Amino acid sequence: MTQTLLPRRALLAAAPLVAAPSVLKAQTQARLLVIGGGFGGATAANFARRTYPWLDVTLVEPKRSFVTCPYGNLVLAGTRQIGQITHSYDGLRARGVRVIHDWATGIDAAQRRVRLANGETLTYDRLILSPGIALRWGAIEGYDEAASETMPHAWVPGDGAQTLLLRRQLEEMPDGGVVGLAIPANPFRCPPGPYERISMIASYLKRHKPRSKILALDAKEAFSKQGLFQDAWAQLYPGMIEWVPGNRDGKVTKVDARERVLETEFGTQHKVAVANVIPPQSAARIAADAGLTDASGWVPVNPRTFESRVAPGIHVVGDANIPGPMPKSGYVANSTAKQAVASAAALLRGETPPEAVYFNTCYSHVGDEYGISIVGVFRPNAEGTAIAEVQGSGGVSPRGNHPEQRRLEALYADAWYESITKDMFA
């Protein structure tokens, strides 16, 4: 818990919880500012209004509606429409969140101010920063924003255009074509996401273009739920998917967007019909500009409060932070956002932040009525220096022949999507 508070806040922090008039006044005016309206930020704003009605909550998010990354792969499969994974901010407004659709362009951590693109300046008592990721243009030679118009990443959905572009390319591809994917090294957003994507593209191809192939070029030697994915691929899509790990020259280092060529570390050129390039990533730019990132490009945080290690008063949640052994997932963003808000509220009242426990449940669809999952429960260690998975808990679905389990997990995945998006936006 940091103590480098400004005088007014120091007074607030030292005040007991009894509703003495001065404290009450301060509490009703405590301003929680949230930057970013995704899984971390929307959860934070919603949870803050539901749980701490004395907080004045403002959310800054440039987009008018939010297209989720989760279930984007089902849009690629053709089993969901983009409108079904697009969410409005009206529910947050109805909860009393002031929603500002603009870009936050800079953070003054010392003065606790945030500048918006429209010139307005917002002041805060505590900031929840959930800015998401930046794609590292140029980390793969030739892969810049212009190249993504021919070789979509579909990894930062924005208004959905990237996902729809990849879907259209799959639809336009002749039967017998090769779909190439470039998959980055760790850490990156949604560790099982590329492999769910391979599965969902395969399910589309199997139905509509069965002579086609998928070439997955990976910078890694291992991936999330690997055994389960590969079992399912062999069972559902035999002969369709070739996964090339990094130690077999799977790492894509260069692309030619015009020729649709993916080139790997040792110079092998793969010409494909459709290319999905998921580039290396870092925390979104605003986090770096505010000096919150370390040499890795991600934001170190306190394991109990998710407060920045370098900037008191700023809690950084979602994919931008360094979450220890936890994945960069929507569930972790949701879970840690609640702990960050609870910590911020406690610190504003001069209380100790609550004991932390974090949850992750990530389902992946791999075929019709076929879902698999990874689960984790995590806590800070006794010293509060790091996060560790609770021993004996968590893990992946069992391998082997478990048809009922697979069907149920596909159903539970759909329930998860409905539940968590309601938790964020309703």
Partner 1 sequence: MRPLPLLLASLMLATPAAAQAPLAAQGCVGCHGPNGAGMGSVPGLAGRDRAEMIAQMNAFRANERPATIMGRIARGYTEAEIIASAEYFARQPR
CA 228 to chain CA centroid, Å, is: 22
Name the packing angle between helices 330-348 and 403-425 (round to 10°).
Answer: 40
Our CA angle for 143, 149, 153, nearest 5°, is 60
What DSSP character marks residue 59? E
When asked if residue 324 is in the footprint of partner 1 (CB under 8 A), the reply is no
* Residue ranges in 362-381 that form contacts with partner 1 under rule CB under 8 A: 373, 375-378
Dist CA 198 CA 366 (whole Å)? 8
Dist CA 189 CA 331 (whole Å)? 12
x-marked contacts with partner 1 along 106-145 as a string, rule CB under 8 A: ----------------------------------------
Q: Which is nearer to partner 1, 15 or 161 (CB)?
A: 15
Q: Which long-range contacts (CB under 8 A, 24 or more apart) does 45-49 make?
A: 45/92, 45/95, 45/97, 45/128, 46/91, 46/92, 46/95, 46/97, 46/423, 46/424, 46/425, 46/426, 47/337, 47/338, 47/341, 47/423, 48/128, 48/341, 48/345, 49/92, 49/95, 49/96, 49/97
When asked if residue 102 is in the footprint of partner 1 (CB under 8 A), the reply is no
Rule CB under 8 A: choose which of 28, 84, 296, 381 binds partner 1.
Answer: 28
Rule CB under 8 A: choose which of 163, 212, 264, 339 binds partner 1.
Answer: 339
Rule CB under 8 A: choose which of 4, 20, 22, 25 binds partner 1.
Answer: 25
Q: Is 226 exposed, middle or buried (0-12, 13-18, 19+ CB in 10 A)?
A: middle
When asked if residue 426 is in the footprint of partner 1 (CB under 8 A), the reply is yes
> β-pairing, 241-244 with 86-88?
unpaired
Strand-pairing partners, residue 254, are: 141, 263
When asked if residue 54 is in the footprint of partner 1 (CB under 8 A), the reply is yes
When asked if residue 354 is in the footprint of partner 1 (CB under 8 A), the reply is yes
Scanning 80-88, 152-160, 200-208, 409-417 for contacts with partner 1 by CB under 8 A, the matching segment is 409-417
When asked if residue 416 is in the footprint of partner 1 (CB under 8 A), the reply is yes
CB of 335 to partner 1, least distance (A): 6
When asked if residue 92 is in the footprint of partner 1 (CB under 8 A), the reply is no
Query: Which residues have C-beta within 8 Å of that of residue 174, sequence separation ≥ 6?
Result: 209, 273
Scanning 207-215, 280-288, 289-297, 412-420 for contacts with partner 1 by CB under 8 A, the matching segment is 412-420
Strand-pairing partners, residue 106, are: 115
# chain residues binding partner 1, by CB under 8 A: 52
When asked if residue 58 is in the footprint of partner 1 (CB under 8 A), the reply is yes
When asked if residue 94 is in the footprint of partner 1 (CB under 8 A), the reply is no
Scanning 162-170, 256-264, 265-273, 413-421 for contacts with partner 1 by CB under 8 A, the matching segment is 413-421
Rule CB under 8 A: choose which of 196, 218, 307, 409 binds partner 1.
Answer: 409
CB of 276 to partner 1, least distance (A): 28
Rule CB under 8 A: choose which of 361, 365, 366, 370 binds partner 1.
Answer: 361
Largest CA distance in the chain: 74
Rule CB under 8 A: choose which of 16, 53, 158, 210 binds partner 1.
Answer: 53
Dist CA 209 CA 205 (whole Å)? 5
CB of 111 to partner 1, least distance (A): 16
Query: Which residues have C-beta within 8 Å of that of residue 52, sequence separation ≥ 6?
Result: 32, 341, 345
Task: Kindly state the tokens that stand for 425.
Answer: 């936006």
CB of 308 to partner 1, least distance (A): 21
Half-sphere exposure of 51 (CA within 13 A, CB side): 18
Q: Phi, psi (5° rounding) for residue 263?
A: -115, 135
CB of 358 to partner 1, least distance (A): 8
When asked if residue 79 is in the footprint of partner 1 (CB under 8 A), the reply is no
Q: Which is nearer to partner 1, 215 or 374 (CB)?
A: 374
Q: Is 298 exposed, middle or buried (0-12, 13-18, 19+ CB in 10 A)?
A: buried
When asked if residue 342 is in the footprint of partner 1 (CB under 8 A), the reply is yes
When asked if residue 395 is in the footprint of partner 1 (CB under 8 A), the reply is yes
CA distance to 155, 157, 220, 284, 293, per residue, from 133 (Å) = 10, 11, 20, 4, 12
CB of 12 to partner 1, least distance (A): 14
Residues found near partner 1 in the complex (CB under 8 A): 19, 24-25, 27-29, 31, 47, 51, 53-54, 56, 58, 98, 331, 334-335, 338-339, 342, 354-359, 361, 373, 375-378, 390, 392-395, 397, 405, 408-409, 411-412, 414-416, 418-420, 422-423, 426
